[in-house]
């Protein structure tokens, strides 16, 4: 090894590694583990999507970084219809949404003189992406926060991972107005937008929020959850055409290309609403029984009005709760993974089969 500093040394420990001992404990349950720690889909990929993938499997040439004309049209139509956005937007497929979250600050050319705001309780990859770019990250839910450099970008996450909190139109309008006064880019992570339960989430690109002007705004979306495509790595970013164009220019140089057959599958997924409704119904049923079981077992559920998780607490350190559940063969994620203010919560995923969810409900009631 040379004397240069390691890039990995500047990154936090991968949080799920610290959960491994509790996973081992949960697997010792006589009826096996119920893994509710991560949001990986377990239900079948819709047939309409698989058929499109197979039909496009003969793909000897290089795909377009910008996406096929059919995919660009499908993404644009979905943004207009589903997000209620009348503005002309730039669209760009990504290799899932996590890689865009991780590399957005770098792709946008941010560095040590730039501060990036992100939520106090947040998906860990926001912090990682800011560190990879060498920028300054600041956890804050208030737009009054200020770091040592200019605030170049602000991450918004609604519905939130991990809390399931949804930001309303007045809140989002306030963020957009604040950002535009300062020339700050708003990057909105909306990967759970189609999974609203108690309230209907709204996009930062919607006319209600943007007044039909998406300047300075981009939104990140994923097909992993709505369409069970986590294994396909299918996501996209939409918004200000100038910003999306900048992302495209850098991604072309970096070879950050969604495979051609996956692009065809994305077209099918974006064009079909039936499978989305079916998957929503599955998650809604699991959410109902898990929520009732947790409350009956003495938990309080906070926020959780949308998304794939229940944000639960017993009013004790989160690792104590993780251990209590692991003793019952149930594995969950400690709230501390997502920020210091999550120290007394756990995140309970809805992504387990009906059989495993039923097992968790039985154990919580024992």
Higher pLDDT, 150 or 299: 299
pLDDT in tens, 172-214: 999 999 999 999 999 999 999 999 999 999 999 999 999 999 9
CATH number of this structure's domain 53-271: 3.40.640.10
Q: Give the CATH architecture of domain 11-44+275-364.
A: Alpha-Beta Complex (3.90)
d(CA 159, CA 347): 14
What is the phi/psi pair of residue 300, to 5°?
Answer: -110, 135
Spatial separation of the C-alpha atoms in residues 46 and 63, rounded to whole Å: 23
- Sequence-ordered list of residues with C-beta below 8 angstroms from that of 274, at least 6 positions apart, any chain: none
Burial of 173 (0-12, 13-18, 19+ CB in 10 A): middle
Residue 366, pLDDT above cutoff 90: no
Write the pLDDT tens digit of every residue in 314-333: 999 999 999 999 999 999 99
What's residue 13's pLDDT? 67
The CA R_g of the chain, rounded to the nearest whole Å, is: 20
What DSSP character marks residue 39?
-
Q: What is the dihedral of CA 92, 95, 100, 101, to 10 degrees?
A: 140
> What is the model's pTM?
0.92
Return the percentage of the chain with pLDDT > 70, whole number.
94
Q: CB–CB of 19/334 below 8 Å?
A: yes
Find the angle CA(105)-CA(111)-CA(115) to the nearest 5 degrees.
Answer: 75
Residue 268, H or E segment? helix 260-271
Q: Residue 14 pLDDT > 90, yes or no? A: no
**Residue 185 bridge partners (DSSP):** 153
What is the average pLDDT across 299-308?
A: 97
Q: pLDDT (tens digit, 9 = 90+) per residue, 48-90?
A: 999 999 999 999 999 999 999 999 999 999 999 999 999 999 9
* Short-list 4, 81, 77, 53, CA closest to 264: 53
3-state helix, strand, coil in the chain (%, to 5): 45, 15, 40
Please give the pLDDT value at position 1.
Answer: 44
Strands 234-239 and 150-157: unpaired
pLDDT tens-digit profile of 219-231?
999 999 999 999 9
Distance (Å, whole) CA 309 – CA 346: 10
Residue 9 has pLDDT above 70, yes or no: no
Give residue 150's pLDDT band: very low, low, confident or very high (50, 70, 90). confident
Report the pLDDT value the prediction gives residue 305, as an integer from 0 to 100: 96
Task: Please report, for the chain, the start and end positions of each structural domain, with discontinuous segments joined by +.
Answer: 11-44+275-364, 53-271
pLDDT digits (tens, 9 = 90+) for 80-104: 999 999 999 999 999 999 999 999 9
């Amino acid at each position: 090894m040379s004397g240069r500093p390691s890039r990995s040394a500047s990154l936090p420990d991968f949080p799920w590694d610290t959960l491994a001992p509790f996973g081992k404990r949960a697997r010792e349950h006589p009826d096996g583990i119920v893994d509710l720690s991560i949001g990986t889909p377990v239900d079948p990929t819709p047939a309409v999507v698989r058929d499109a993938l197979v039909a496009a499997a003969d793909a000897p040439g290089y795909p377009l970084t910008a996406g096929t004309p059919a995919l660009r049209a499908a993404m644009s139509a979905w943004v207009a219809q589903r997000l209620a956005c009348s503005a002309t937007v730039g669209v760009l497929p990504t290799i899932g949404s996590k890689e865009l979250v991780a590399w957005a600050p770098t792709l946008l050319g941010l560095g040590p003189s730039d501060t990036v705001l992100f939520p106090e309780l947040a998906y860990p990859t926001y912090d990682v992406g800011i560190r990879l770019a060498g920028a300054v990250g600041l956890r804050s839910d208030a737009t009054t926060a200020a770091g040592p450099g200019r605030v170049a970008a602000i991450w918004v996450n609604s519905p939130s991972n991990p809390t399931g909190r949804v930001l309303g139109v007045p809140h989002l309008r306030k963020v957009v107005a604040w950002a535009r006064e300062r020339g700050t880019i708003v990057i909105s992570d909306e990967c759970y937008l189609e999974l609203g339960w108690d309230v209907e989430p709204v996009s930062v690109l919607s006319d209600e929020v943007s007044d039909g002007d998406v300047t300075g705004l981009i939104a990140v979306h994923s097909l992993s959850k709505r369409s069970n495509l986590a294994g396909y790595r299918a996501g996209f970013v939409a918004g200000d055409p100038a910003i999306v164009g900048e992302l495209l220019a850098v991604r072309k140089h970096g070879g950050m290309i969604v495979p051609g057959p996956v692009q065809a599958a994305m077209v099918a997924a974006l064009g079909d609403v039936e499978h989305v409704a079916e998957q929503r119904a599955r998650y809604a049923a699991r959410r109902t029984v898990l929520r009732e079981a947790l409350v009956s077992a003495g938990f309080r559920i906070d926020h959780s009005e949308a998304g794939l998780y229940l944000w639960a607490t017993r009013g004790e350190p989160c690792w104590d709760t993780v251990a209590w559940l692991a003793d019952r063969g149930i594995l969950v994620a400690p709230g501390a993974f997502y920020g210091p203010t999550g120290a007394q919560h756990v995140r309970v995923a809805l992504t387990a089969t009906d059989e495993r969810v039923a097992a968790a409900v039985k154990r919580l009631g024992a």
